[in-house]
Chains A and B, each alone.
Chain A
């Protein structure tokens, strides 16, 4: 179904795709089977950026101890890691966003910018993850949960969106990321998880829908408490994030931060130069949810809508790099659909696979039980023949929903 459509769509980027697969011949070019290729995010509808054509900047006078710098000279890709498929478990998208969660969105955007073949699994289930939160990045034995560390990892894998940056711009990137993390993120967390109106009317029902069945009664509350704890600790132990004074301080700082970002962006298309880099991904990750989430109580959103260039920046990047998600249609339509089928999923595309997934899941459980029974009683014995085959198959089997939800990406387009 969605398969063919996706391939058609990808034709438009064919040049770019082939370009890249040449570059990473050792990795994806060899490994990718046609079946798997549809899971990869290809560099969406971005203008063909001549990444390879640009010379890496001259290495600066930095000390050799530099780590994963934003200006980093391209490193020799470690071939062993390259062979491991990279996958990202994240929250699914809505409201015209490819993912509703800032961390997931940041990583997805960066992967698009850098052209990293990232397999998305919109599990919507942070129950089994190491830190109890999403996104989780897996590549071979590497499991990373911090969005910024994921970007570091991608950079080390030579998927670097920051080739073009001067050392100073690299430093600025680091500083502005700190600004966003310290000033904007708390407000975003507050608006989504702690504002009582937003939490009850939007965040909780949304997550209740998105998270698979029994856990959706537990997880939203757990995430709410985690958000509260995080905010409390960021502001210092005594400050109660529900207190009005603290709250208005958080929002005032966030508004300040948004204005600063808007000033820094100015009339430029991207924060640095004419191609998107890490900072663009981080800003997008934090600003786009704020802009597009239909928050019932939206002080910050009002302020953000006054900053035209920042809004246009988000819309532009979303339109260029995540075109299929734009076709969810305007928000009002979304709303309507949500109201029409309160128990169902927000978009048609999601609706089908959910059903499919549930069926698949129950089937899997039944088959698993039978196979387990058989194995346990020695009715069947298994001999391991070769490692390569199983390696390739395990991920798709372990996450049966991954393929399904990616289908909807294709189906929507």
Chain B
């Protein structure tokens, strides 16, 4: 398997980054949820940091299309790669790497902090979305089911809720109180804030995939309306993290002419 994987990677390396590389995510307006939005934004930020152009395609069935069942995924040549970790590896095989200048110690730290973000922030987002009854009822379920007709919208939303709760149970998050979750998030944010310190990016002057991941999550938390303001408040309490978000957004998402990459091709199927 590993041999096969490396073969695929070699094949991937042989081809340059194609013009028609596509990035798939759920519908931006009415469907996407915080956790997915954060993951999508993180991958987008990463690709922009690598200056790899992609067409963004919005599909209501992006989640089901993804080989791992998680958004976002990219379709490059014959390859379909989902989630940040594998995408970073895939892009690295193509010769684009943000973390090549780091030494081994820093690489270890970067991976550790990325796991911290995934472990805490992503899980906390899922917890808020699907384990908090108010959010679940007012935001998560209606949005999740929005592309589907009745009664499929209800069915799928409840199915998703059941799945996430089962996952939370397996990860022993189900028994946590919202306060405990906020504490975990706060602890994670504090660790990130301490690691960042007064630097512009986590590892000096150049961004890495960790910056992309942190940006994806924090920027989404800051800009998304949830049923309670606790999470954005927690983020705002760490000014250097909020600054990082602004920095990344200014540098990579507000360039003139970047409208071409954020086209809304393919959103026709949302009917």
Checking B68, B107, B195 against A172 with a beta-carbon cut-off of 8 angstroms, the contacting residue is: B195
Q: Roughly how many angstroms separate A264 CA and B120 CA in the complex, as a whole number? A: 22
Q: Which residue of B lies closest to A232 (CB)?
A: B170
List of A residues within 8 angstroms of B183 by Cβ: 67
**Is B191 located at the chain interface by the 8 A CB criterion?**
yes
**CB–CB A175/B1 < 8 A:** no
Q: Roughly how many angstroms separate A183 CA and B163 CA in the complex, as a whole number? A: 22
Q: Roughly how many angstroms separate A146 CA and B173 CA in the complex, as a whole number? A: 10
**CB–CB A168/B116 < 8 A:** no
**Is B105 located at the chain interface by the 8 A CB criterion?**
yes
List of A residues within 8 angstroms of B58 by Cβ: none
Chain B residues 1 to 42 lying within 8 A of chain A, measured CB to CB, are 1-2
**CB–CB A237/B163 < 8 A:** yes
Chain A residues 61 to 78 lying within 8 A of chain B, measured CB to CB, are 62-63, 65-69
**Is B166 located at the chain interface by the 8 A CB criterion?**
yes
Checking A63, A236, A239, A263 against B108 with a beta-carbon cut-off of 8 angstroms, the contacting residue is: A263
Query: Known: A62-B190, A69-B187. Is A229-B111 also a contact (CB below 8 A)?
Result: no
List of B residues within 8 angstroms of A234 by Cβ: 170-171
**CB–CB B1/A245 < 8 A:** yes
List of A residues within 8 angstroms of B48 by Cβ: none
Query: Known: A65-B186, A69-B190. Is A175-B171 also a contact (CB below 8 A)?
Result: no
List of B residues within 8 angstroms of A266 by Cβ: 105
**CB–CB A170/B115 < 8 A:** no
What per-residue 1/0 map shows which CB atoms of A182-197 lie under 8 Å from chain B? 1100000000000000
Checking B68, B108, B163, B190 against A264 with a beta-carbon cut-off of 8 angstroms, the contacting residue is: B108
What per-residue 1/0 map shows which CB atoms of A216-240 lie under 8 Å from chain B? 0000000000000110111011110
Chain B residues 99 to 134 lying within 8 A of chain A, measured CB to CB, are 104-105, 107-109, 111-113, 115-116, 118-120
List of A residues within 8 angstroms of B187 by Cβ: 66-69, 174
| A-B interface contact total, Cβ < 8 Å | 105
Q: Which residue of B lies closest to A131 (CB)?
A: B172
List of A residues within 8 angstroms of B113 by Cβ: 175, 178
Q: Which residue of A lies closest to B70 (CB)?
A: A236
List of B residues within 8 angstroms of A65 by Cβ: 186, 237
Q: Which residue of A lies closest to B119 (CB)?
A: A178
**Is A260 located at the chain interface by the 8 A CB criterion?**
yes
What per-residue 1/0 map shows which CB atoms of B135-179 lie under 8 Å from chain A? 000000000000000000000000000010011011110000000
**Is A171 located at the chain interface by the 8 A CB criterion?**
yes
**CB–CB B108/A260 < 8 A:** yes
**CB–CB B119/A261 < 8 A:** no
List of A residues within 8 angstroms of B166 by Cβ: 233
**CB–CB B237/A263 < 8 A:** no
Checking A60, A145, A175, A252 against B112 with a beta-carbon cut-off of 8 angstroms, the contacting residue is: A175
What per-residue 1/0 map shows which CB atoms of A17-33 lie under 8 Å from chain B? 00000000000000000
**Is A397 located at the chain interface by the 8 A CB criterion?**
no
Q: Which residue of A lies closest to B195 (CB)?
A: A171
Query: Known: A171-B192, A237-B163. Is A230-B170 also a contact (CB below 8 A)?
Result: yes
**Is A176 located at the chain interface by the 8 A CB criterion?**
yes
**Is A308 located at the chain interface by the 8 A CB criterion?**
no
B interface size (C-beta, 8 A): 37
**CB–CB A178/B115 < 8 A:** yes
**CB–CB A182/B115 < 8 A:** yes
**Is A389 located at the chain interface by the 8 A CB criterion?**
no
Q: Roughly how many angstroms separate A175 CA and B169 CA in the complex, as a whole number? A: 22
Chain A residues 111 to 148 lying within 8 A of chain B, measured CB to CB, are 131, 145-146
**Closest chain B CB from A264 CB (angstroms):** 5
**Closest chain B CB from A171 CB (angstroms):** 4
Q: Roughly how many angstroms separate A63 CA and B237 CA in the complex, as a whole number? A: 8
Q: Roughly how many angstroms separate A129 CA and B186 CA in the complex, as a whole number? A: 30
**Is B266 located at the chain interface by the 8 A CB criterion?**
no
List of A residues within 8 angstroms of B197 by Cβ: 168
Checking B68, B108, B188, B237 against A238 with a beta-carbon cut-off of 8 angstroms, the contacting residue is: B68
**CB–CB B116/A174 < 8 A:** yes
List of B residues within 8 angstroms of A229 by Cβ: 170
**Closest chain A CB from B118 CB (angstroms):** 7
Q: Roughly how many angstroms separate A136 CA and B186 CA in the complex, as a whole number? A: 26
List of B residues within 8 angstroms of A175 by Cβ: 109, 112-113, 115-116, 191, 195
**CB–CB B170/A168 < 8 A:** no
Chain B residues 63 to 90 lying within 8 A of chain A, measured CB to CB, are 68-70
Query: Known: A67-B187, A174-B188. Is A181-B119 also a contact (CB below 8 A)?
Result: yes
What per-residue 1/0 map shows which CB atoms of A238-279 lie under 8 Å from chain B? 110000110010001000110011011010000000000000
**Closest chain A CB from B232 CB (angstroms):** 15
What per-residue 1/0 map shows which CB atoms of A91-106 lie under 8 Å from chain B? 0000000000000000
Checking A146, A170, A174, A236 against B69 with a beta-carbon cut-off of 8 angstroms, the contacting residue is: A236
**CB–CB A172/B167 < 8 A:** no
**CB–CB B69/A237 < 8 A:** yes
**CB–CB B171/A183 < 8 A:** no
**Closest chain B CB from A78 CB (angstroms):** 18
**CB–CB B170/A233 < 8 A:** yes
Q: Roughly how many angstroms separate A230 CA and B104 CA in the complex, as a whole number? A: 31
**CB–CB A176/B112 < 8 A:** yes
What per-residue 1/0 map shows which CB atoms of A21-56 lie under 8 Å from chain B? 000000000000000000000000000000000000
**CB–CB A168/B69 < 8 A:** no
**CB–CB B163/A174 < 8 A:** no
**Closest chain A CB from B253 CB (angstroms):** 26
**Is A212 located at the chain interface by the 8 A CB criterion?**
no
Q: Mind listing 18 A-B residue pairs with CB under 8 Å?
A: A63-B190, A66-B186, A66-B187, A67-B186, A68-B187, A171-B190, A172-B109, A172-B191, A174-B188, A174-B191, A179-B112, A182-B115, A234-B171, A244-B1, A252-B2, A256-B111, A260-B111, A260-B112
**Given A238-B69, A256-B111, 11 additional A-B pairs, CB 8 A:** A63-B238, A66-B186, A69-B187, A176-B112, A178-B116, A178-B120, A181-B119, A230-B170, A257-B111, A260-B111, A263-B104
Binding site for B on A (CB under 8 A): 60, 62-63, 65-69, 131, 145-146, 167-168, 170-172, 174-176, 178-179, 181-183, 229-230, 232-234, 236-239, 244-245, 248, 252, 256-257, 260-261, 263-264, 266
